[in-house]
């Protein structure tokens, strides 16, 4: 077992446990904090795949911006002591777990059967995830999609301001 495999096993274990924690923990704040752990570990997995720029972007965008937004909304809503923070005792967890096992079996069979337990060896060129390579491709072949994404983000900003604005009493 090489050191890369040991690193992957540790990171994947943390990611899997924190993914369960997001679903299983009762308080939304705890779910958010466990999700931050998950995003950080995913960034390290991206590093281990050789995609350095995307790993850094993952930390900045997800663990930084998006999770701050989540914690901010949880704080504003003050959900800690309302009813919806507590799970009702009904059949939903059981149904969910059964559906989850079925879904995981379905996807995993489609991964294992064609791929085999070993999989392929890495084929990408070294340095394929460097900022230079990603930026060159993004601004040449994908420039149109990049501009469309900027319009999408602009629409998102305007829409969220419009939704969160307090209505004036007329």
Partner 1 sequence: MTWYLMLGAFMFTCGAVGVIVRRNPVVVFMCIELMLNAVNLTFLTFAAYSPSLLPLGPELTQSWMSGQMMVIFVMAVAAAEVAVGLGIIMAIYRLRDEVDLDSMSAMRG
Binding residues for partner 1 restricted to 70-99, rule: CB under 8 A: 70, 73-74, 76-77, 79, 82-85, 87-88, 92-93, 95-97, 99
Closest CA to 62 of 84, 48, 42, 88: 42
Distance of closest approach, residue 48 Cβ to partner 1, in angstroms: 9
Choosing from 6, 10, 131, 137, the residue that interacts with partner 1 (CB under 8 A) is 137
Going by the DSSP 8-state scheme, the letter that residue 78 receives in this structure is T
N residues, the chain: 170
Q: Report whether 82 contacts 42 (CB < 8 A).
A: no
User: What are 51's two structure tokens?
Assistant: 């995609």
3-state secondary structure (DSSP) of residue 15: helix
Choosing from 1, 81, 89, 125, the residue that interacts with partner 1 (CB under 8 A) is 125
Answer yes or no whether residue 16 interacts with partner 1 by CB under 8 A.
Answer: yes
Choosing from 6, 10, 131, 149, the residue that interacts with partner 1 (CB under 8 A) is 149
Answer yes or no whether residue 37 interacts with partner 1 by CB under 8 A.
Answer: no
In degrees and rounded to multiples of 5, residue 160 shows phi and psi of -70, -35
Window 46-65: residues binding partner 1 (CB under 8 A): 46, 49-51, 53-54, 57-58, 61-62, 65
Dist. CA 37–CA 14, nearest whole Å: 8
Distance of closest approach, residue 121 Cβ to partner 1, in angstroms: 7
Choosing from 10, 131, 147, 157, the residue that interacts with partner 1 (CB under 8 A) is 157
Answer yes or no whether residue 128 interacts with partner 1 by CB under 8 A.
Answer: yes
Answer yes or no whether residue 143 interacts with partner 1 by CB under 8 A.
Answer: no
Q: Quick one: CA dihedral 135, 52, 33, 103, positive or negative?
A: positive
Distance of closest approach, residue 1 Cβ to partner 1, in angstroms: 12
Dist. CA 8–CA 10, nearest whole Å: 6
């Amino acid at each position: 077992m090489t050191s890369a495999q040991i690193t992957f096993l540790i990171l994947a274990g943390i990611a899997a446990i924190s993914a369960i924690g997001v679903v299983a923990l009762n308080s939304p704040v705890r779910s958010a904090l466990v999700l931050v752990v998950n995003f950080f570990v995913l960034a390290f997995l991206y590093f281990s795949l050789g995609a350095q720029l995307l790993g850094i972007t993952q930390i900045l965008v997800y663990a930084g911006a998006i999770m701050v937004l989540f914690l901010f909304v949880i704080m504003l809503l003050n959900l800690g002591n309302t009813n919806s923070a507590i799970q009702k005792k009904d059949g939903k967890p059981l149904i969910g777990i059964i559906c989850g096992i079925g879904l995981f079996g379905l996807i995993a069979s489609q991964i294992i059967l064609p791929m085999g337990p070993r999989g392929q060896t890495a084929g990408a060129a070294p340095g394929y995830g460097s900022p230079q390579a990603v930026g060159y491709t993004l601004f040449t072949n994908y420039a149109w999609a990049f501009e469309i994404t900027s319009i999408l983000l602009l629409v998102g900003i305007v829409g969220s301001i419009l939704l969160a604005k307090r209505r004036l009493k007329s």
